[in-house]
């Protein structure tokens, strides 16, 4: 996404939207007052928007990665317990 082509109003709206999404992901209270963005210089707004989008991408990736990792660990534990139970049953009745 080329942020330089967007008008300032759309960049401000995009920043507010992405920052709100990021704050909700972190579980922080969301401040709906974005009037202070009008005082930011263009380069600060662009830098903040890039940082927010990058952080949000990282948070989404990390969330997916940790979910997959958790399921892998749980599967290994489950298969280990099931294997031990099957081994124990075979020793008792085999």
Nearest to 12 by CA among 33, 32, 38, 31: 38
Q: What is the pLDDT of residue 61?
A: 95
- Asked if residue 12 lies in contact with residue 45, where contact means CB atoms within 8 angstroms, the answer is yes
Per-residue pLDDT of the chain (94 residues; tens, 9 = 90+): 677 788 999 999 999 999 999 999 988 888 778 888 889 999 999 999 999 999 999 999 999 999 999 999 999 999 999 999 999 999 998 7
Nearest to 23 by CA among 64, 67, 59: 59
Q: What is the pLDDT of residue 30?
A: 81
pTM of the model as a whole:
0.74
The full set of domain ranges for the chain reads 3-93
């Amino acid at each position: 996404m080329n942020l330089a082509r967007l008008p300032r109003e759309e960049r401000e709206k995009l920043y507010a939207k992405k920052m709100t999404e990021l704050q909700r992901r972190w579980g922080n209270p969301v401040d709906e007052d974005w009037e202070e963005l009008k005082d930011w210089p263009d380069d600060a707004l662009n830098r903040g928007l890039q940082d927010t989008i990058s952080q949000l991408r990282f948070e989404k990736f990390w969330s997916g990665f940790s979910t997959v990792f958790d399921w892998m660990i749980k599967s290994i534990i489950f298969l280990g317990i099931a294997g031990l139970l099957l081994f124990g049953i075979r020793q008792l009745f085999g």
